Amino acid sequence: MVTIKDIAKAAGVSPSTVSRVISNHSRISKATTIKVKRIMEEMGYHPNVMAKSLVSKTTNTLAIVLPRPAEELFQDFFFGELLRGILAHSTKAGYDMLLAAATSPTDEQETISRLVLGRRVDGVVLLSSRQDDPLIKMLADHDFPTVLIGRTEGHDNIITVDTDNVQAAYDATTHLIKQGHSKIGFVIGVPNLTVSVDRLEGYRKAMQQAGLAINPEWIIDSEFLQQSGYRAMSFVMNIPERPTALVVIDDVTAFGVLRGVTELGFSVPNDICLISFNNIALSELASPALSSVDIGTYQLGYTASHLLVRRLQDNASSQIRNIIPHRLVVRESSIKDNQKRG
């Protein structure tokens, strides 16, 4: 491996000079610069990142920390989009991305400590689904540069980016109400995640505000896993007061719901309307195409990285709480055929 010293020797200068050429320091003469650069080129020099990090105490690396039950995340286009956004920005900003997953809870704490406390990374993008995640507290306690994709309370040094999930669900529900529905159900995901809680709240709010009662049987406890969405359907379609529309926690679950309902012999949207969240690429390829709330997933990721880098570079205390706007994408699953041109 060719080091800075080799270059120095070959160029007849000191290592300091070579180092300064690299970081184009102002006090190096044009001539030396040219000569050293040529020799670096010739000898195929590449700076040793580790050595540099050691003295500069900065690694130019960010970590994406996945919540423990990461398995499911990967099942979803959602995560891919998020990653794409994060990567797009971090690459542009010249940061490397470390993907840190953990297998077990103990392992998790340990992995993160190693990365964070071992000065392995300069900052982390945390994808946490639970508000009281001990990781959040740990990072906050160390005042470690962190951007959380999600929501938390009581830590004023944790920057967050999130969707306004309450509002998003409110909008989705209101959309259904405007279509004339009054018996609207909600297919919830993993119950204790903040997304689930918030979206449920938004749904409740919309219903209440419209003066509509909620039958507890309409709240269907599913899981993010698509299969469960399907199973839930045989139940819901057979209760006495059957809902005529459903707000579904995410698109993948909606695929399951759609298939379940169809198999039971009902039609979407004519027997039951559907709207879900995330607007993954496949949503528009379902039959009927799924109406979905686009939460700007890519943007969410991009912004997360952006905020983190800004925090690191300018140390400008960016805005702590950041919301990415969402928008309703109405397709076929939420509009009854007879209303299409009504």
Partner DNA sequence: GAGTTTTGAGCAAACGATTGCACATTTTGA
Partner DNA sequence: TCAAAATGTGCAATCGTTTGCTCAAAACTC
Q: What is the C-alpha separation between 135 and 88, in angstroms, rounded?
A: 25
Side chain identity, residue 138: M
Query: 94 or 265: whose CB is closer to DNA?
Result: 94
Query: 20 or 336: whose CB is closer to DNA?
Result: 20
Task: By CB under 8 A, tell whether 42 contacts a copy of itself.
Answer: no
Query: 20 or 199: whose CB is closer to DNA?
Result: 20
Task: By CB under 8 A, tell whether 31 contacts a copy of itself.
Answer: no
For residues 312 and 122, the answer to whether their CB atoms sit within 8 Å is: yes
Binding partner of 4, given DNA, a copy of itself, none, CB within 5-8 angstroms per partner class: DNA
Centre a 10 Å sphere on the Cβ of residue 59 and count the other Cβ atoms it contains.
Answer: 21
Candidates 35, 120, 183, 310: give the one binding a copy of itself (CB under 8 A): 120
Helix (H, G, I), strand (E, B) or coil at 274: strand
Q: What is the C-alpha separation between 246 and 177, in angstroms, rounded?
A: 11
Binding partner of 109, given a copy of itself, DNA, none, CB within 5-8 angstroms per partner class: none
Q: What is the C-alpha separation between 176 and 274, in angstroms, rounded?
A: 9
Side chain identity, residue 125: V
Query: 128 or 174: whose CB is closer to a copy of itself?
Result: 128
Query: 57 or 178: whose CB is closer to a copy of itself?
Result: 57
Binding partner of 14, given a copy of itself, DNA, none, CB within 5-8 angstroms per partner class: DNA
Q: What is the C-alpha separation between 336 and 273, in angstroms, rounded?
A: 7
Q: What is the C-alpha separation between 252 and 276, in angstroms, rounded?
A: 9
The distance of closest approach from Cβ of residue 8 to DNA in the complex, given in angstroms and rounded to an integer, is: 7
SS3 readout for 67-129: CCCHHHHHCCHHHHHHHHHHHHHHHHCCCEEEEECCCCHHHHHHHHHHHHHCCCCCEEEECCC
The distance of closest approach from Cβ of residue 17 to a copy of itself in the complex, given in angstroms and rounded to an integer, is: 20
Stretch that binds a copy of itself, among 9-17, 103-111, 172-180, 207-215 (CB under 8 A): 103-111
Q: Using the 8-state DSSP alphabet, how is residue 328 labeled?
A: E
Stretch that binds a copy of itself, among 67-75, 212-220, 242-250, 310-318 (CB under 8 A): 67-75
Task: By CB under 8 A, tell whether 149 contacts a copy of itself.
Answer: no
Contact pattern from residue 214 through residue 243 relative to a copy of itself, giving x for each residue in contact according to CB under 8 A and a dash for the rest? ------------x---x-------------
Q: What is the CA radius of gyration of the chain?
A: 26
For residues 32 and 21, the answer to whether their CB atoms sit within 8 Å is: yes
Query: 14 or 113: whose CB is closer to a copy of itself?
Result: 113
**Which residues contribute to the site for a copy of itself (CB under 8 A)?**
1, 44, 46-51, 53-54, 59, 61, 64, 70-71, 73-77, 79-81, 83-84, 87-88, 91-92, 96-103, 107, 111, 113-115, 117-120, 226, 230, 252, 255-256, 258-259, 262-263, 281-282, 285-287, 289
